Amino acid sequence: MTKAELVERICCVKGAENLSKKAAGEVCDALWDEVKKAIKKDRKFGYPGFGTFTVRKRKARTGRNPQTGEKIQIKPSKTVGFKPAPAFKDAL
């Protein structure tokens, strides 16, 4: 699903028929901005019935340049992991 498809579906939700696509897009942008801020600040964001986003650390490791085959050292980094809630997982 793309952002445009999500905005379209939000506009079709019962009770939100009068919401413009522009306003729905702004709501989506604001929602994800707040989720990003929460993850950055608290290192965790959970939504009941959906799941939890957490910051995960990756260790430094040795990789390989695919063009030359040369070994390279990859620095440690952070990423975001997602663990679905049991209700969401069961619905799949």
pLDDT digits 0-9 by tens, 67-92: 999 999 999 999 999 999 999 999 99
Question: What pLDDT is stored for residue 68 in this prediction?
Answer: 94
Q: What is the assigned CATH class of domain 3-91?
A: few secondary structures
Sign of CA dihedral 13, 23, 81, 42: negative
The whole-model pTM stands at 0.76
How far is it, in rounded angstroms, from Cα 50 to Cα 70?
42
pLDDT band of residue 44 (cuts 50, 70, 90) is: very high
Q: What is the mean pLDDT of residues 13-24?
A: 85
Distances (CA, A) of 44 to 35, 56, 64, 72: 9, 10, 32, 31
